[in-house]
Structure 1
Amino acid sequence: MIATRRSPLALWQAREVQRRLQASGRPVRLEPITTTGDRILDRALDKVGGKGLFLKEIEQALLQGKADLAVHSLKDMPMALPAGFRLAAVLPREDPRDALVASGGQVLAELPEGARVGTSSLRRAMMLSRMRPDLQIAFIRGNVEGRLAKLASGEFAAIVLALAGLRRLGLEQRVTEVFEPSRMLPAVGQGAIAIETCSGRCDLEEIIAPMNDRCTELCVSAERAVGRHMDAGCSQPFAAYARLSAGVMHLEAAHQGQGGAEPRFSMASAPVSQVEQALSLGEEVAARLRKT
């Protein structure tokens, strides 16, 4: 049994894991769950408890034996999981970049001065403000379809969403600009689908392990390590993005302190083939970030 949130994107991700398990001859059912984070849509996450609001009810289902595993967008998971839970696998990562969807088909540079741009992410707000300080960055929550509906109603001139989610929902044609990481550093784990289990479920190892993508695991391990060492959550803008090329990991992170200070950036590269090396690189980048 797979526990999942009820949004169309969450169900798409859970069905992808279901499909992979069924391909190996295992019958799998979904257990859709409405989380506290799904119910509270009128306030920013940092005001009501952070990313854990998307996991609480799902993790309870795991503890109570109502589900064997849970499927999440990795970027929605806290940097450190509660005791008794583990990140059992990550699927191959989809494109981690962010995308602009503008009602008039414009790219960011073409938006009128003072245009209202919607995002629920402090990270995206930080990056947008660096590129276009004249814009009015406004709060928006809800699933992808709900946000697009608010855009269509004229509440916003544009919104920023994860490109991966739009692709998975068949909505990539709505994108008017894709932001390269050099302009908008992605969120930790963005584009990756995560499988969570209770720590003691050794019986699931053989079933889940083949779905784990080693390259994605190494990259998101480094990104999450930066976040843990920076004590990053939802209350301050934070970004981290790792990529592997010919055995060398390139890791960059950004952080903005209180009061809208200028964002700080840090990066490092090192050969990485083991999770321990990825964690070490993440710790190094966090240490550099604190010194900048």
Structure 2
Amino acid sequence: MQTTVLKIGSRGSPLALAQAHEARARLMAAHNLPEEAFSIEAITTTGDRIQDRPLTEAGGKGLFTKELEEALLAGRIDIAVHSSKDMPTVLPDGLELSAFLPREDPRDAFIGTSAKSIIDLPRGVTVGSSSLRRQALILRMRPDLNVATFRGNVQTRLRKLHDGVADGTILALAGLKRLGLQSIATDLMPLETFPPAPGQGAICIESRIGDRRVVEMLAPINHAPTAQALACERAFLAALDGSCRMPIAGHATIDGNELTFSGVILTPDGKKSHDISAGGPVADAAEIGRAAGEKLRRNAGPRFFDGWS
């Protein structure tokens, strides 16, 4: 009888479980172990329970990770599987991000009912989104639209759309693909004009620092280019003191030993923004992101950030 080799923690939403299943499948293949060797523990987080108000009012990104991290520290699970864009830049003492799976398409997808694209929407209609970044980018494109907060998992948001709460919404294409729902996208947002959140499309795995057995199990499934790109993006976010309280976008790409990064900060109404581009050796990924964030902060000036937190 096969005993459990690794306990995998995950949020309980269909998308989170799909990500946990992908991590399990990669571990099974890497170590030639059966499915029964890996148990998946679904854990409800504070962010899952709060549905009546924006997370910016309740505490930010850590609301999607707190209970999983508590289970890790208590030894109830061995690893936690997360969406990288949900991860705070500062982790609890004793924990680290120890692996990244190959990144999916980082673009956002528009799903419209009254028009196929944001550009074609009638004036004054409502687009639903829970992301301050997406709200600001929508308003930068179409200041005549009404943007409403749209909380819940993918299925909940699609149901709200079907019920006529909004004429359109924007979701990560990566999530739709992992759920087999990419065909419902009516338009894909270009990276150049609608840049993604730092970490979007990438699954990360969190574990206890110093847990050699777990680190050795994760090593074969870590995707180095994704890890390098995310090191840059997360350093950019950290330099801006970023969380989901701030409209921030950032995306790094790897070509051989070279990294290219672009980032933007916006006011929540989308009326003002500051962009930056940077690049350099992959070995300097974190430093490139940190320097870009610090330069953008200087360029924007302290008054740009008033009222964000």
Q: Same fold (TM over 0.5)?
A: yes
Deviations 1:41-89 (A, max 9, x none): 1111110011111111111111111100000111111122121110010
The separation in 1 between residues aligned to 2:26 and 2:261, in whole angstroms, is: 30
| Residue in structure 1 matching 2:130, options 109, 120, 137 | 120
The equivalences for 1:222-233 within 5 A come to: 222-233=232-243
Mapped partners of 2:193, 2:271: distance in 1:
18
- After superposition, the C-alpha distances for 1:218-264 in whole angstroms (9 at most, x for unaligned) are 10100000000110012111111101124221111111357866011
Per the TM alignment, residue 105 of structure 1 is displaced from its structure 2 partner at its CA by: 4.8
Residues 136 and 267 in structure 2, CA contact (< 8 A), matched pair in contact too = no
Distance 2:116 2:71 in 1: 44
Segment drifting more, 238-247 vs 124-133: 238-247
Query: Kindly, what percent of the aligned residue pairs are identical?
Result: 45
Conserved? CA contact 2:127–2:168, under 8 Å: yes
| Residue 287, structure 1, aligned to residue 291, structure 2 | no
- Paired residue for 1:14, among 2, 20, 28? 20
Pair 1:251-2:261 in alignment: yes
Number of residue-to-residue matches in the alignment: 289
| SS of corresponding position for 1:108 | coil
The answer for unaligned runs of 5 or more in structure 1 is none
What letter is aligned with 1:57? E
- 8 Å contact from structure 2 (residues 139, 270) kept in 1: no
Q: What is the rounded CA distance, in whole Å, between the counterparts of 1:89 and 1:96 in structure 2?
A: 18
Return structure 1 stretches of 4+ with deviation > 6 angstroms. none
**TM superposition shift of 1:38:** 0.2
Secondary structure, aligned partner of 1:49: coil
Corresponding residue of 1:89: 99
Counterpart-to-counterpart distance in 1, 2:124 and 2:68? 40
2:153 equivalent to 1:153: no
Q: Distance in 2 between matches of 1:28 and 1:106?
A: 42
Query: What is the CA RMSD across the aligned residues, in angstroms?
Result: 1.3
Q: Hey, what's the Cα distance between the residues in 2 that align with 1:128 and 1:105?
A: 15
Unaligned runs of 5+ residues in structure 2 are 1-6, 300-309
Residues 7-51 of structure 1, C-alpha deviations (whole Å, 9 max, x = no match): 000000001111122222341000001111000011111100111
TM-score normalised according to structure 2 size: 0.91
